Structure 1
Amino acid sequence: MFLIAILTIANYFLHISSIISLILTIAILITVIIIHHTLQQQIEALETLYKERTAELTTANAELARAARLKDEFLANMSHELRTPLNAILGMSEMLQEGIYGNLDAKQIKSVHTIEESGRHLLSLINDILDLAKIEAGKVKLDIIPVSVPSVAKVCLRLIRQLAITKRLKTLSNYDNQVNIIQADERYLKQILLNLLSNAVKFTPKGGTITLEITGDAEQNIVNITVSDTGMGIAEQDMDFLFKPFVQIDGGLSRAHEGTGLGLSLVYRLTELHGGSISVESKIDQGSRFTVSLPWKNIIPDNTKQSQQAISKATLLVVDDNPKIINILSDFLKIKADHIFIAANGIQAIEKTKEVQPNIILMDLQMPTMDGLEAIRQIRKHNKTIPIIAITALIIPGDKERTLEAGANMYLTKPLNLNTLANNINSLL
């Protein structure tokens, strides 16, 4: 009887233990289901948030692009409409000076000459606005031909010589005998040099000196065209505004110099279209030195002579608003990497980075909508590891330090040596 009682009690406890195990198992299963459900809800909420944020960025990008397009169209249309009456004004002033409508006395001739001078000045400003609008709208196509750099330089010096003589400025030139022909658009190359030389004349006081130098860097395949002056100089805090349109560093009601502030902006954009870069050095009351660096020999890589340097299997994101640079980099990189993705501004770069998770990013710094510096900062908030190579056509003091501080791994300047770029990509990968 005692044994039976013990067995009965044992069975009872075993039964209780089985029930407890079952209850615990059910509890664990319910907990897992609840956790899974909660995680699923969180994932769905994050996916919804991501989609909403992506949609917001896409909408914002589209609105900004539309606003930029409308601005460019407005500027182009207004420039065109203003040129029509100006042509009539200039034509009439010329005919009056020729005496076609009768002879004028000295005072009248002087007045008509003032009208003509003012009209031509206004026409040059309108042309600058039109050129900038066309560039920003992507409607400028370069006519790339062999161009003699010394010949273009001499023509530009002749064009500003009278203005320099009026201010008693000394003009000097120094040409590297090794440099002659480069591949460029002759008209726009003249515009680059004329804008730099005109600025040098404008901001150099009487008795100063303006120097034009041309040097070749055979190792980097670069021609450097430098315009320096002994003028007023530029403060360090003004450097970032130099190449922005409609900005003058002496802006305001008391400014001493005429102009729209488009000259340097055009220089930068035209230099970038040529695949080159521009750098500036300056000290207050000591003068400024602007250097335009352009490709010298091989602008576009010859695919029949591919470099032995291949990029490790990778997905690359190329961010640049210059279609020509995009094409050159894409043509060069697509034969060396797995996948190439393109973005035209900072906002698109952020979206593409989230979408494709590239192994490396080539980021231009000067772009519309959102520049490369801000895009790097935004990307680094969410991704600390993707290597970013910053590429710029505008080189100003402190720019490299700011770019690396923002999160870039490397800082390169145009014109790019493509094989060196491939080596740099491999080193970061």
Structure 2
Amino acid sequence: MTISEFQRKFLLRHDLSTFNRLNTAIWIIDIDNYKIWWGNKSALKFLEIDSLPSLVNQDFSAEEIFTREKLEEIFSDTSKGHYIEENWTLHLNQIPKKAVVTFIPLLIENEKRAILIEAIPQLTEETLQRDHRIQELTDKLTLTRQEIQSAIKSKSEFLTIMSHELRTPLNAILGFSDMLKQQVYGSVNEVQTSALNDIFNSGQHLLKLINELLDASIIDRGELQLVDEFFQFDSIIEDCQSIYKEEISKKNLNILVQNNAQLLFLIGDPDRFRQILMNIFKNAVQYTEKNGTITFTIEYDTEGNLVFAIKDNGIGIAQNRLPNICKAFEQDNRSPLTSGKGMGLGLYITSQLVSAHGSKLIIESSEGEGTKVSFTLPKSRIRDSKRSEIQQLTLAIPNVHTCEACYSK
């Protein structure tokens, strides 16, 4: 019999603590006393035994593979350097456990003979079938995900192509109707002028919808780009009031502007920033009833960031609609007067543009009490003095599919 020095060192149980880190089930059988002497945590899990004392006290005399003669034979052969590997079915704890086992001869405390058993569980037919079903479902999910991604890409490409194809003839309609209004081709009467105004306004509305579709498709493809430069935002606030002055006047709305950061220079895309403020202000005008008030506030927060907020006392948004209000094609039919006037892309595009500028869109609203929409521009995008040169940077913005930026308080 030859037991190596490596195997001789396992004389005390505390020497075996390292084996508790292994995922392989390992236990040691004391041949001389014919009992389990020690097992690691993986062995307890494999044999479904709750504690080491329970394992040590386990009666395995009924196991045919655990006969004294069998263990003596294994110890003798492995001590001579023979490698033994067997397929065992254990019935400890009344639960059959199939495993491929290997053996190492040891001398434990008081030079007692022992065998270290390493067990690798065998997959049962039930387990194999379950794994096969899991693999089938995984393959189906992968294929479905690929089909969805392909459909999204096709939809986005279709929207882009259609948007460009529609804009060409639409621009011609707008141009000619405007020239007719200006009586470039001859005089027109009052009725004709009214009809031309309707054509021109409807065309402008259709152009806006097409532009929104184009923006949405660009965002979905992850191709949104900002052309960053230094610009002042004061004129954009004035333009908001100017563009919607007719509806403001018609509703007799009170517009309050509290600009506590005048003449600042921002770093961002001025066209996209204009689009952000225009969309938010347009919604406030659209959903505020007659004689209502809209407050436009620009101020610093405690950390030096710049907060833009537009608050109205309009009809508000129901709480159950807030979580989805910024999703694409989520049309907000809060009022019968405004339902059907858009495709539900305004806030979706706005939230993505705000995110591209390093911020998030925050929507706070209560039905019947009004809505506050705000975002905070980080101080890294703020400059308090005029620059002699305009620096332009083209930044590729990653695709943002969710509207985590939007939440209510």
Q: TM-score range by the shorter chain?
A: 0.5 to 0.7
- Relative to the length of structure 1, the TM-score reads 0.61
89-98 vs 171-180, greater mean Cα deviation: 171-180
**How far 1:162 moved relative to its partner?**
3.1
In the alignment, what sits opposite 2:99? 36
Say whether residues 1:21 and 2:56 are aligned partners.
no
Tell whether 2:318 aligns with 1:235: yes
Partner-residue secondary structure (3-state), 2:361: strand
Structure 2: how far apart are the matches of 1:150 and 1:25? 93
Q: Which secondary structure state, in structure 2, belongs to the residue aligned with residue 142 of structure 1?
A: strand
How many matched pairs? 295
Mark the runs of 5 or more structure 1 residues left unpaired by the alignment.
1-18, 300-321, 326-343, 345-365, 372-391, 398-429
Deviation at 1:257, TM superposition (A): 6.0
Query: CA-to-partner distance for each residue in 1:98-132, whole Å, 9 max, x for gaps?
Result: 33333222111211121111111111111111111
**Structure 1 52/26 Cα, relative in aligned 2: closer, same or farther at 3 Å?**
farther
Residue 292 (structure 1) aligns with: 375
**What secondary structure does 1:163 align onto?**
helix
Match of 2:177 among 93, 96, 99: 93
> Matches of residues 318-397 of structure 1 in structure 2 within 5 Å?
324=397, 367=401, 392-397=404-409
Runs of 5+ consecutive residues of structure 2 not aligned to the other structure: 1-65, 75-84, 91-96, 101-119, 383-394
Alignment of 1:153-192 (within 5 A): 153-177=237-261, 180-192=264-276
Aligned pairs for 1:237-276 (under 5 A) are: 237-250=320-333, 256=339, 258-276=341-359
Moved more, 191-200 or 135-144: 135-144
CA deviation vs aligned residue, 1:318-338 (integer Å, no higher than 9, x gap): xxxx9746xxxxxxxxxxxxx
Deviations 1:250-306 (A, max 9, x none): 27988646222211111111111112101111122221110122222269xxxxxxx
The Cα offsets for residues 389-416 of structure 1, whole Å up to 9 and x where unpaired, read as: xxx422223xxxxxxxxxxxxxxxxxxx
Look up the SS of the partner of 2:219 in the other structure: helix
- The alignment partner of 1:226 has SS state of strand
CA separation of 1:25 and 1:87: change in aligned 2, threshold 3 A:
farther
Q: Which has the higher contact order (CA 8 A, sep 6+)?
A: 2
SS of 2:256's equivalent?
Answer: strand
Which of 212, 216, 228 is equivalent to 1:132?
Answer: 216
Distance 1:150 1:94, change over 3 A: closer
Task: Please report how far the alpha carbon of residue 231 of structure 1 lies from its aligned counterpart in structure 2 after TM superposition.
Answer: 0.6
**Deviation sequence 1:112-168 (CA, Å, 0-9, x none):** 121111111111111111111111112221011123233432332332233211221
Shift in CA distance, 272/98, structure 1 to aligned 2, threshold 3 Å: same
Q: Aligned residues: percent identity?
A: 31
CA contact (8 A) 1:178 1:216 kept: no
Segment drifting more, 44-53 vs 184-193: 44-53
Contact 2:226 2:396 survives alignment (8 Å): no
Asked if the contact 1:277/1:395 (under 8 Å) is kept, the reply is no
Provide the C-alpha distance between the structure 2 equivalents of 1:179 and 1:105, rounded to a whole number of angstroms.
46
TM-fit CA distance, 1:22: 2.8
Cα–Cα, structure 1 residues 294 and 47, in superposed 2: closer, same or farther, change >3 Å?
A: farther
Structure 2 length-normalised TM: 0.64
User: Residues 224 and 294 of structure 1 are in contact (CA less than 8 Å); yes or no, is this contact kept in structure 2?
Assistant: yes
Which of these residues, 285, 299, 304, is aligned with residue 201 of structure 1?
Answer: 285
Conservation of the 8 A alpha-carbon contact between 1:276 and 1:295: yes
Task: Decide whether the 8 Å contact of 2:312 with 2:370 is kept in 1.
Answer: yes
Larger radius of gyration: 2
Separation in 1, partners of 2:235, 2:287:
25
Q: Distance in 2 between matches of 1:251 and 1:226?
A: 21
Counterpart among 101, 108, 121 of residue 205 in structure 2: 121
Contact conserved, 1:281 with 1:396, CA < 8 A, in 2? Answer: yes
**2:363/2:371 contact within 8 Å kept:** yes
Name the residue aligned to 1:360.
Answer: none
Report which stretch shifted further, 41-50 or 277-286: 41-50
Q: Deviations over 1:211-267 (max 9, x none)?
A: 110111252x53211011111111111112211222223279886462222111111
User: Secondary structure at the residue paired with 2:380?
Assistant: coil
